[in-house]
């Protein structure tokens, strides 16, 4: 079935700090960011959460990262780049397409639920990205790395698309467990598109998946989230 698009990020300021478009924060943005409500998961602990850093500049891991980017750059097709540009749009529709288990038009309760998940997750991802401030491939290697999709000016680690798609795969699995393999396969595809398009290193993608699963474990601790999952189950297409 066709889906009604849901923007993962709720406000223009959130887009500026988005899952794959984080920018350095000015004072006004910081105030707006700090004022965001908490629905399920408090972002404060993520400021000091123990989370593995990205590869060090000049390390063997970093060299493997840029080598992977350049390998894809040499073999990707126009079709590969087009597909990567579609999943880069950061909408529920571009992420999940016909895989949604909900009706069209999307019920308002479902839309609001995913917006709440995205809002909390955005805050948490921002904390990690701003801690490590890893340059994107085309920033770290401007003479070598040439992305074929729209560039993001923000930090690279962990990948926001990888994190968001992983969390949403987990959330959809909480709602429809029998479709877990399908949801996670799509999330992996979305994440890999960021490497193919040249805007993320492979280790950004791997970190996004780890962080997404870690974040989901915190979601499950939220009574409000668990109650909302039961409400979402009641809204599935029969």
List, in order of start, the domains of the chain with CATH numbers: 73-234 (1.20.144.10)
Q: Tell whether the model's pLDDT for residue 101 goes beyond 60.
A: yes
Mean of pLDDT over the chain: 85
pLDDT surpassing 70 at residue 3 = no
pLDDT at 20: 38
Question: What pLDDT, in 10s, does the model give residues 135-190?
Answer: 999 999 999 999 999 998 789 999 999 999 999 999 999 999 999 999 999 999 99
State the pLDDT at residue 1: 31
User: CB within 8 A of 196, min separation 6: which ones?
Assistant: 72, 76, 80, 81, 83, 84
Higher-confidence residue: 1 or 112? Answer: 112
Helix H, strand E, coil C: the string for the chain is CCCCCCECCCCHHHHHCECCECCCCCHHHHHHHHCCCCCCCCCHHHHCCCCCCCCCCCCHHHHHHHHHHHHHHHHCCHHHHHHHHHHCCCEHHHHHHHHCCCCCCCCHHHHHHHHHHHHHHHHHHHHHHHHHCCCCHHHHCCCCCCCCCCCCCCCCCCCHHHHHHHHHHHHHHHHCHHHHHHHHHHHHHHHHHHHHCCCCCHHHHHHHHHHHHHHHHHHCCCHHHHHHHHHHHHCCCC
């Amino acid at each position: 079935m066709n889906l009604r698009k849901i923007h993962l990020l709720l406000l223009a300021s959130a887009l500026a700090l988005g899952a794959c478009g984080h920018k350095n924060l000015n004072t006004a943005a910081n105030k707006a960011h700090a004022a965001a409500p908490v629905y399920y998961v408090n972002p404060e602990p993520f400021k000091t959460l123990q989370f593995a850093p990205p590869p060090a500049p000049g390390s063997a891991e970093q060299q493997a990262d840029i080598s992977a980017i350049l390998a894809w750059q040499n073999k990707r097709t126009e079709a590969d780049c087009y597909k990567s540009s579609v999943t880069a749009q950061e909408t529920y529709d571009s992420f999940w397409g016909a895989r949604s288990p909900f009706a069209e038009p999307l019920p308002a309760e479902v839309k609001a639920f995913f917006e709440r998940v995205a809002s909390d997750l955005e805050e948490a991802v921002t904390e990690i990205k701003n801690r490590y401030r890893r340059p994107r491939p085309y920033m770290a290697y401007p003479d070598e790395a040439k992305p074929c999709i729209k560039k993001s000016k923000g930090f690279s680690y962990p990948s926001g698309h990888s994190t968001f798609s992983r969390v949403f795969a987990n959330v959809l699995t909480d709602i429809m467990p029998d479709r877990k393999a399908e949801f996670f396969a799509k999330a992996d595809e979305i994440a890999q598109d960021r490497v193919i398009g040249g805007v993320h290193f492979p280790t950004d993608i791997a970190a996004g998946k780890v962080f997404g699963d870690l974040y989901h474990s915190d979601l499950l601790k939220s009574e409000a989230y668990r109650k909302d999952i039961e409400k979402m189950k009641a809204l599935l297409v029969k």
